[in-house]
């Protein structure tokens, strides 16, 4: 029965609805009491549909040690399925936005908040070979930037606003991901030079003073060829 109800919910989402438990109960012709035994809340129903949509994506793994390759594999593997299950993913996004509004209005009640943020673990796993090089702060910032092109929200922008198809949206995501990764690596490599250039004036003078003293010591230890004493002028005859 659970699978039957979930299939019915998926069909309703394909029609543009965010189905309630009552909608699904009517679609499969069971009582609301029966439906609530399988899905106690609308959030539980939508979450089950999202789990069905994302299933294989959540199990994604890569054997590559190259971060660009790993992120490319993740996006290329995920985007076709995100496109295939676009309707339930959009329904989940709509419900999350509705819940946010109700929560901030103090009218959410005891409804379970729809869990979100699964892309975080996937992106951090894809970026793991760079973790030591970038450090936590830069690594988190890169994952946050990549999250803007990996998920339902990216589809909404690229498909609804720009009118792209699924494959075109995937190509934009791949291009953006490569650019972000390369930028993060270059920014990390340039950090020591920027730190030296932005050092306070006093620190730079101190460094210059130490350098000058070091040069003086070096010159004292190697004074070079001895100079001949100056010749004395001969006294004139009176």
Tens of pLDDT, residue by residue over 178-228, are: 999 999 999 998 877 767 676 675 555 554 454 445 444 334 444 445 555
Task: Say what the pLDDT of residue 102 is.
Answer: 87
- On whether both 29 and 139 belong to a single domain, the answer is no
Tens of pLDDT, residue by residue over 30-47, are: 999 999 999 998 889 988
Task: Say what the pLDDT of residue 207 is.
Answer: 42
Give yes or no for a contact between 3 and 39, defined as CB atoms under 8 angstroms apart: no
- On whether both 74 and 2 belong to a single domain, the answer is no
Continuous H helices in the chain: 2-14, 21-28, 32-38, 42-58, 67-84, 86-104, 118-126, 131-146, 152-155, 166-197, 201-221
- pTM equals 0.75
- On whether both 61 and 175 belong to a single domain, the answer is yes
Task: Say what the pLDDT of residue 114 is.
Answer: 81
Q: Which domain holds residue 16?
A: 1-40
Q: Domain for residue 45, yes or no?
A: no
The whole-angstrom separation of Cα 57 and Cα 44 is 20
Q: Domain for residue 210, yes or no?
A: no
Average of per-residue pLDDT across 96-122: 86
């Amino acid at each position: 029965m659970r699978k039957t109800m979930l299939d019915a919910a998926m069909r309703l989402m394909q029609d543009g609805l965010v189905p309630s438990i009552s909608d699904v109960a009517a679609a499969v012709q069971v009582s609301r009491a029966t439906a609530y035994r399988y899905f106690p809340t609308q959030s539980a129903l939508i979450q089950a549909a999202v789990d069905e949509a994302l299933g294989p994506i959540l199990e994604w793994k890569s054997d590559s040690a190259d971060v660009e390759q790993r992120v490319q594999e993740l996006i290329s593997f995920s985007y076709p399925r995100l496109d295939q299950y676009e309707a339930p993913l959009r329904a989940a996004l709509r419900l999350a936005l509705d819940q946010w509004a109700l929560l901030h209005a103090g009218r959410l009640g005891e409804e379970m908040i729809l869990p979100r943020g699964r892309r975080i673990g996937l992106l951090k796993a894809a970026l793991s070979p760079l973790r030591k090089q970038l450090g936590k702060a830069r690594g988190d910032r890169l994952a946050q930037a990549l999250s803007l092109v990996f998920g339902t929200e990216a589809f909404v922008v690229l498909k609804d606003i720009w009118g792209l198809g699924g494959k075109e949206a995937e190509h934009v995501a791949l291009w953006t991901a490569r650019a972000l990764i390369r930028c993060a690596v270059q920014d990390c490599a340039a950090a020591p030079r920027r730190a030296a250039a932005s050092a306070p004036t006093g620190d730079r003078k101190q460094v210059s003073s130490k350098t000058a003293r070091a040069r003086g010591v070096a010159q004292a230890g190697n004074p070079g060829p001895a100079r001949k004493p100056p010749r004395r002028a001969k006294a004139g005859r009176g």
